[in-house]
Amino acid sequence: MKKLALSLALLLGLVYILMPFSPVQAESPRQEYISFQGVEIFTQAYNYTSKANEAIIYLPGLGSTHYDARFLHNSSNTYMTVSLDYLGHGKSGTLPNINWDLHLDSIKAVIDAYNINKVHLVGHSFGADTAMMFAKKYPGSVKDIVLIDRAYYNFAEIEQFNFTRSLIELLEYNPETLTYEAFINYLDMSYGNDISQTWDLKKKVLLLGGDPAQTFLTEPSIPFMIFLLKTFPDWFGLTQEQVAHLPDISEKDVLDLVSFLDEKLFAFEEVNHRFKMFYTPFSHRMVFEPEHFDSIRGYILGYLKNGKVQ
C-alpha cells in the first residue's frame, strides 16, 4: 500500500502520509526512550536542557513521526523542542486497543520524564486534535496551543462530500511508520471524536489554517484520480474488490468541501475569544515542504513569544 499511498497522497492532498526531506538543523537533537506501561516511547529533544521550565511539544499527524518536527530545528528557535513517535508508530512500542486515554497519557509520560512544567503544544493534522484533547484532559500542563490546519472540524463531517473513511483507509495506511492495528485504532479515535467539545478551553490557541484550495484543487483532479483508481486498480497494485466500495467524487463535491473548510476556518475565532486563526497560503502538507519551513516556524515562534503572528 505504501507506493499507492505516497503517489496518491501527493495528488489528493489528503491527510496523513509524509514524504521525507533532508532537514536543516542547528545541532543534533538528543534522543531518548521513555517508559510507558511496559513499552518504550521514542523521543527527540532539540535544544535539550534538564532545566527547561517551558518547552515546545510537537505532535505529528497520524502515520507520521518525530521527524516532522525538523522545521523547528533551527537556531531561531530557542525553546527546547520535544517530538515523539506515538504508540504504534516509528521507533515506539505499541499497546493493544489504543484509545484517547492511552494516547494522551503516553504524551503526559513524556512531558513528566523531561520535567517540563508548562508546554507549548504544536500539533499538525491529527496532532492538532491531539493537542486540544490533551489540553482538555491536562489543562495544568499546557500554556498555549498552536494548531496546524486541523481541530476546526470533525473528520466525520467531510464524509458528506464523499471523502469517506473507506477512502482514507485504502490510501493512507503506511506500514513503514505504524502497525495496521494501531492505524485502525487511531482512525476509530478520529472518526468517533467530536473536537468541538474542546472549544471551551481556557487557553490561548492559534490555528494556522491551510488554504483548502491548495490542498484539494489539484492537478490531476481528485475525481480523475479516483476514476483511475476504480477503473485500473492493477496500476496501483490493488484488486477490483479492494476498490469496489470507494465513493465516486465529483468536481462539485471537491468545490463544496473547499467552501465548507473555508467557512469553518473563518468561524474558528467565533467559538472562543481566546482563539485566533491565521490563514496561510499553503496546503495541508505545509510541514513537509522545506520551502515553507521558515514561514511556518516564524508564525509559531512569533505567537509563542509575543502573541502575534509575524
For 273-301, write each residue's pLDDT tens digit: 999 999 999 999 999 999 999 999 999 99
Nearest to 94 by CA among 185, 183, 182: 182
Nearest-10 crossing angle of helices 2-12, 222-231: 150
Q: Full-prediction pTM beyond 0.85? A: yes
150-to-128, 196, 285, 305 alpha-carbon distances in Å? 6, 12, 12, 22
**C-beta neighbour count of 267 within 10 angstroms:** 12
On whether the CB atoms of residues 157 and 177 are closer than 8 A, the answer is: no
Q: What is the pLDDT of residues 24-61, one digit of tens each?
A: 445 689 999 999 999 999 999 999 999 888 999 999 99
Nearest to 268 by CA among 213, 206, 310: 206
pLDDT at 129: 98
Mind giving me the DSSP string for 48-84? --TT-SEEEEEEPPTT--GGGGGGG-STT--SEEEEE
Nearest to 255 by CA among 215, 209, 283, 208: 215
Q: Any idea which residue has 504508540 for its cell?
A: 87
CA dist 263 and 166 (Å) reads 25
Question: For the chain, which ranges sit under pLDDT 50?
Answer: 1-7, 9-25
- What the chain holds in terms of domains, given with CATH numbers, is 2-304 (3.40.50.1820)
pLDDT at 164: 94
Q: Which residues pair with residue 142 across a beta bridge?
A: 119
On whether the CB atoms of residues 73 and 290 are closer than 8 A, the answer is: no
CA 40 centroid distance within chain: 22
pLDDT at 21: 39
Strand order of the β-sheet with 80-84 is 30-36, 39-46, 80-84, 54-59, 118-124, 142-148, 204-209, 275-279
